[in-house]
Structure 1
Amino acid sequence: MSDSLTIRRRSSRSYGAAGDAFKKIHNGRGLIAENTQHRHERMKPGEFKRVLFLFSLCCVLFFVYLYWQQSTSIDTSRIIYSYRHTLSKQKFVGHPNRLWNLKNVTLKTHPPQWTWQCINQRCERRHIKGAIPVVSLSTCSMLCGSTQLWPQPTGPVTLGSRAVTFNHQQLELETAASEPARSLLQQSFMAFNSNVISLVQSKDYLERSTDIKRLVVRVNIAQHNVVKLKLDTSESYTLVVKPKDDEVIANITAKTFFGARHGLETLSQLIWWDDYDKTGMLKILKSASVKDNPIFPYRGLMIDTARNYMSVESIRRVLDGMAASKLNVFHWHITDSQSFPLVSYRVPQLAKTGAYGPDMIYTPEDVRALVEFARIRGIRVILEVDTPAHAGNGWTWGPQEGLGELAVCVNERPWSLYCGEPPCGQLNPENVNVYDILEKIYRDLLELTEERELFHIGGDEVNLECWAQHLQKSTTIMNYTDLHDLWGDFTLKALKRLEAANNGNKVPLVIMWSSNLSKRPYVNKYLDKNNIVVQSWGASQWPDTPDLIADGYRVILSHVDAWYLDCGFGRWRETGEAACDPYRPWQTVYNHRPWQQLHLNKRQILGGEACLWSEQFDESSLDARLWPRAAAFAERVWSDPQLDTTTFTIQEDVYTRLNTHRDRMISRGLGAEALWPTWCVQNPGMCL
């Protein structure tokens, strides 16, 4: 397999006066040399050197001017990117590093037995016989009834009823965008191209004729300098697909790169593989119009890689799935009491003593590469090192280095007295060295992610009994009649250290998990509503979320009874109850619409986040735990479709679109769970 990137520049450049000057110099160089010789006979040695110096300086300045002219012209020219990906012997599946060799695969040549007809906006299966038209299910689904887009766009959508065949080598991207947006767009186009190639199911399809000669993607971005995603960044886009002679032109217009990237994703969803046409071809709708903009600016997915380590490759798959579903925040819960796999520049002892093994770590280079991988896909990364609880292994080296006990209750037994699950561990609030280390960690996290608007400080499930037992012989406990105040003081000190790590500037929005500290009366005493955002994870029936909104706080919703994707797999320890049973199927995830059901002020809701804690899975089952349930969540926070609040019945359209999206993710290399039997896929509406 070989990849190449062809860049062609369209521009008309003129050197103007400088070019005329160059011609004069070039044509008159003999005369200059002759005059110089005569002058040399009359000049003193010092004067001759000065003349040569001035002449050399003029030449240097002239070539600098030419270089500047050329660079300026390139920045403002229109550039066409054409990404070539050869499929001679191998099929591209999912991620570029995953290849499936087709040399020894025996292709099934049995003729198709079924065709699908569009009847009453639904594809109905028929036996192929007589003169009945032969239409594949994929083509019928794309041309009959509902759009197959996921998440459903928020604006008007018009889709044509005809399609044309093409191949991926006919794809071209035209853009006049300047740097820095141009480079991101180029890389995003490569990801788009790879997604298209992932649909291909025949190694020799490039040899077949196509209906068009070029599929041109023209992207117009208004704000070229916006290359970091913020809450107020526009993610809107308009996509218009139309035929022109022997080409199809896809025009994407967006205010920022992030909107343009979403436009590319939507365009990729208007492309499919038809296994009937010429025994297999790529197809695209001949005409389409989509206007789209997300409802919520924060559409997050949290993955815990501390309980069980996940490889960098598996995290890339998570980000690919997020991009396909237009989720835009990857909340990486990277440490916990079980392990500390993050290698810190400033505090290397944490990973050295806290990682499960030398091969189960995340280096700074790993993190930076994932941050950039995510940004190309329209995703920002937030790293969370939870404090003061959920901090044990990795924090035990303090006494050996003369820093005292950095954490207490580490691996304490019986664990049920000091934490919610084994092993226990909480930072020592009375050790001043703890705050010095936190400042160093915070500085690392800010530098690694380059994220300066949002920061997650943790704050989850502090066990006051742990502190009470540790501090009972200390004078510190005498200062507190309520250890919630000790917790509040720890939080204020940690926030000060975060500000110091951010070069003396407050991070605009600091996220904390909901807890006793975010309840009355402590919340108003310790948490500044102008600076703190609470991630409300309790059950939707709990008063936490309505109370926070009533008190004027902004929230991110992660209700455990709907958007915790790790629940329902039984208990993993002999004692204690199973964690948050029952299982949350995709329908439960999709139907959760708390702003309507709880009558919440939507203006104070930044968005939502689905959470996946990793006590009972690792990367071998990561994909199936996430998809397609996280995709169901994604549509809820992107377009927030209406619900029938009396029956909570989900329309047939949602089932068929989500199944199409699930197949799309499978083609991209994600191991998404099946929604239902294949018979239901082939007989739309019959299983509902």
Structure 2
Amino acid sequence: MAAALRPRLLVLLAVAAAATGPSCAGAGRVDLWPMPASVARGAQTLLVSKDLRLSTAGSSYPDGKGILTEAFRRMVAVVELDHAINGTYSRGAPVLAGVHVAVRSPNDELNFGVDESYRLSVPATGDPLYAQIEAQTVYGALHALETFSQLCSFDFNANLIELHSAPWTILDAPRFPYRGLLIDTSRHYLPVPVIKGVIDSMTFSKLNVLHWHIVDEQSFPLEISSYPKLWNGAYSYSERYTVDDALDIVQYAEKRGVNVLAEIDVPGHALSWGVGYPSLWPSATCKEPLDVSNEFTFQLINGILSDFSKIFKFKFVHLGGDEVNTSCWSTTPHIKSWLMQHSMNESDAYRYFVLRAQKIAISHGYDIINWEETFNNFGDKLDRKTVVHNWLGSGVAEKVVAAGLRCIVSNQDKWYLDHLDATWEGFYTNEPLTNIYNPEQQKLVLGGEVCMWGEHIDASDIQQTIWPRAAAAAERLWTPIEKLAKDTRSVTARLARFRCLLNQRGVAAAPLAGYGRSAPSEPGSCLRQ
């Protein structure tokens, strides 16, 4: 058998045994993604009211920003999927009248580590009949609404929404507080509606951090008020983000329980900065990394991070620090002279730059994330507020936490979405806590992130490159480890159904069979691709 055909055959075999009903209750499978921590269910089918109501009686949360109300409207929309809900209820059939949400905390600040737990119960009897959501914060309630939406399906015979297998009792909470997705707007510009679409799709699998790799050597698309010539480095006049655009994206994400992590990658990956401010380049012929000997370099970084602090309210800022080729520093006369005056070699200067940038970020109230090269080269010198972002390979996280620093896992062999040969099975089985057994050290692993680097994607193909592989990682980051499948074949049908759900909701998720961004190989059901 040709190797290329095997992934598709495995999908076909896995879904062939799947039940054809909307809830697959007869198959004994719970069709939720990611799998909750605890699930109990019954066998009753409920009809869902055409005018499903939201009740918040007794809740401590005032919903002054409309976060809960808007989330409920979005939930109803993705359940109805533009179907005409015009059927007639049978006499005596149990009808779910609404959802009652009780949020204990009045605080709606989306701080890192916010309580995202919830309890969702759907009774089989009652008059009136209401689903019940209890959560400490509104963000737990948002996750509960997403789970509730996946319990509902359209009955094409009755032209009504139905909910199978009631009563339901679901207790749930995330395994890791950081569940991220990186997008890259320097290699290709992504219009604001596309970024918002990615944020919406993240909520369906309960990812909660959008890592915005805004700028790189190719382009600088973001307006920086303190240094307005920086976005001269954009690809074109129209491929830019204003300050108001950035604020809009952050606020849009926050209302959906998603934090936005902003990144400037210094001192390397910054060639585009010098289009507006050429003095940032070591010389006209050697333009990267940023000039370590120039005080203006650090003044400008301070200005950027000062502006960031007014837009990006997440606890962390990402300062990059990876892939720094320092040869320009030793071959440019004025920098070479500066190195000699300060008794530094290239490695010393690299460390000096990273640590000074860290101090600037801390002065603006941020904790710092740096790519792992900083730890590999001078980990003992990093500020203790540093989170080390693993990407080069395995074995780094255990060293980072052993040194007492925090870590985010994104090892490129498993969690880089631009690697189109990386299969969803590899995304699912990649374990952030590999070889980390000490409970205190395990807590230092904040979570993980799948990375959608933009060299070969743009607005035309980003969603099908992200999904459904990112969803496989999302379950790894959300679901308790004891609930995760040891054999991916046991979750193939459930993920295939979730991929179809994404398609139904307007997300261009690619088939499971084959590799990233593959197309359907032949006519057939969504469930069998």
Counting only pairs closer than 5 Å after superposition, residues 513-532 of structure 1 correspond to structure 2 as: 513-515=371-373, 517-519=374-376, 522-525=378-381, 527-528=382-383, 530-532=384-386
Contact 2:291 2:297 in 1 (8 A): yes
Q: How does 1:280-359 map to 2 (within 5 A)?
A: 280-285=159-164, 286-351=166-231, 353-359=232-238
Deviation (angstroms), 1:212: 5.0
Report deviation, 1:460: 1.6
Q: In the alignment, which residue of structure 1 is the partner of 2:388? A: 534
1: CA distance between counterparts of 2:335 and 2:241?
38
Out of 403, 427, 430, the position equivalent to 1:551 is: 403
**Residues 1:483 and 2:346 are matched in the alignment:** yes
Amino acid at match of 1:514: E
Equivalent residue number for residue 437 of structure 1 = 300
Contact (CA 8 Å) 1:195, 1:668: kept in 2 or not? yes
Q: Any idea what SS the aligned residue of 2:311 has?
A: helix
Distance 1:289 1:626, change over 3 A: same
Cα deviations across residues 377-407 of structure 1 (Å, max 9, x unaligned)? 11111111111111012323335xxxxx112
1:523 to 1:392, Cα distance in 2 relative to 1, 3 A: same
How far apart, CA to CA, are the structure 1 residues paired with 2:330 and 2:133? 60
Aligned partner (choices 546, 558, 564) of residue 416 of structure 2? 564
* 2:426 maps to which of 579, 588, 591: 588
After superposition, the Cα gap between the structure-2 partners of 1:624 and 1:142, relative to the gap in structure 1 and judged at 3 Å, is: farther
Partner amino acid for 1:485? D
Residue 373 of structure 1 and its aligned partner are, at CA, apart by 1.4
Aligned counterpart for 2:131 among listed residues 227, 232, 250: 250
2:478 aligned with 1:638: yes
Residue 366 of structure 1 corresponds to which residue in structure 2?
245
Q: 1:229 to 1:667 in 2, by over 3 A?
A: farther
Q: Residue 468 in 1 paired to residue 330 in 2?
A: yes
User: Is it true that 1:512 corresponds to 2:370 in the alignment?
Assistant: yes
What per-residue deviation string (whole Å, max 9, x for no partner) do you get for residues 224-275 of structure 1?
A: 11422322x2111000111444643111111111111111111111111233
Instruction: Give SS of 2:86's match.
Output: helix
Q: Which amino acid aligns with 1:457?
A: L
Q: Is the 8 A contact 2:49 2:98 kept in 1?
A: no
Q: Which amino acid aligns with 2:98?
A: V
Does the CA contact (< 8 Å) of 1:471 and 1:477 recur in 2? no
Verify: 1:407 aligned to 2:290, yes or no.
no
1:386 aligns with 2:249: no
- Give the CA deviation at 1:481: 4.6
- 2:509 alignment counterpart: 672
**C-alpha distance in 2, partners of 1:547/1:170?**
51
Higher relative contact order (CA closer than 8 Å, sequence separation 6+): 2
Say whether residues 1:219 and 2:76 are aligned partners: no
Secondary structure of the 2:369 match is: strand
Whether 1:272 and 2:112 are equivalent positions in the alignment is no
Paired position in structure 2 for 1:82: none
Asked whether the equivalents of residues 220 and 230 of structure 2 are also in contact (C-alpha less than 8 Å), the reply is yes
1:259 maps to 140
CA contact (8 A) 2:330 2:336 kept: no
Q: CA deviation at 1:480?
A: 3.9
User: Aligned partners of 2:167 and 2:401: how far apart in 1?
Assistant: 45
Describe the SS at the equivalent of 1:282: strand
Indicate conservation of the 8 Å contact 2:51/2:97, yes or no: no
**How far did residue 496 of structure 1 move?**
2.7
Cα offset, 1:602, TM superposition: 1.5
> What root-mean-square deviation, in Å, do the aligned CA atoms of Structure 1 and Structure 2 show?
2.7
Which residues of 2 match residues 111-260 of structure 1 at below 5 A?
Answer: 137-139=20-22, 141-142=24-25, 144-154=27-37, 156-175=38-57, 176-179=59-62, 183-198=66-81, 200-201=82-83, 203=84, 205-209=85-89, 211-212=93-94, 214-231=96-113, 233-245=114-126, 247-260=128-141
- 1:564-618 deviation per Cα after TM superposition (whole angstroms, max 9, x unaligned): 11014xxxxxxxxxxxxxx111001101114135657412201101111110111
Letter in 2 for 1:173: S
Partner of 2:455: 615
Q: Distance in 2 between matches of 1:498 and 1:218?
A: 42
Rate the CA distance shift 1:471–1:555 in 2: closer, same or farther, 3 A: farther
Partner of 2:3: none
Equivalent position of 2:8 in the other structure? none
What amino acid does structure 1 have at the position aligned with 2:154? W
Q: Distance in 1 between matches of 2:174 and 2:484?
A: 21
Contact kept, 8 Å, 1:123 with 1:141, in 2: the verdict is: no
The one-character-per-residue Cα deviations of 1:423-466 (angstroms, maximum 9, x if unpaired) are x6321111111111111110111111222x21211112111112
Distance 1:363 1:681 in 2: 39
Q: Aligned equivalents of 1:469 and 1:158: distance in 2? A: 67
Alpha-carbon distance between aligned partners in 2 of 1:398 and 1:364, rounded to the nearest angstrom: 19
Q: Which moved more, 1:187-196 or 1:441-450?
A: 187-196
Write the distance in 1 (CA, Å) between the matches of 2:121 and 2:335. Answer: 71
Cα distance in 2 between the residues matched to 1:325 and 1:644: 15
Q: Does 1:396 align with 2:275?
A: yes
**Compared with structure 1, are the counterparts of its residues 615 and 219 closer, same or farther at alpha carbon in structure 2 (3 Å cutoff)?**
same
Amino acid at match of 2:501: R
Label 1:640 to 1:212 Cα distance change in 2 as closer, same or farther (>3 A): closer
Deviation (angstroms), 1:213: 5.2
Q: In structure 2, do the counterparts of structure 1 residues 207 and 283 end up closer, same or farther at CA, with 3 Å as the change threshold?
A: closer
- After superposition, give the CA deviation of every residue in 1:646-675 in whole Å (9 maximum; x if it has no partner): xx63242x1121112111111111000112
Aligned mates of 2:138, 2:409 — CA distance in 1: 27
Contact 2:221/2:235 (CA < 8 Å) preserved in 1? Answer: yes
- Kindly, what percent of the aligned residue pairs are identical? 31
**Which structure's CA Rg is the greater one?**
1
**Cα pair distance change 1:551/1:655, threshold 3 Å:** same
Give the aligned residue type for 1:590: Y
The letter for the 2-side match of 1:565 is L
Structure 2: how far apart are the matches of 1:329 and 1:191? 20
> What does the per-residue CA deviation read over 1:120-176, in whole Å, with 9 as the maximum and x for residues that have no partner?
xx9868xxxxxxxxxx9243525531111111112x211222222235423333343
Residues 181 and 226, structure 1, Cα contact 8 Å, conserved in 2: no
Contact kept, 8 Å, 1:514 with 1:538, in 2: the verdict is yes
Distance 2:369 2:525 in 1: 43
* Matching residue of 1:418: none
Name the SS of the counterpart of 2:204 in structure 1. helix
SS in 2 for 1:164: strand
- Corresponding residue SS for 1:512: strand
CA 558–123 in structure 1, closer or farther in 2 if over 3 Å, else same? closer
Q: Residue 313 and residue 473 in structure 1: after superposition, are their counterparts in 2 closer, same or farther (change >3 A)?
A: closer
* Matched residue type, 1:337: E
Instruction: For residue 375 of structure 1, report the CA deviation from its aligned partner.
Output: 1.3
SS in 1 for 2:275: coil
State the shift of 1:472 in Å.
6.3
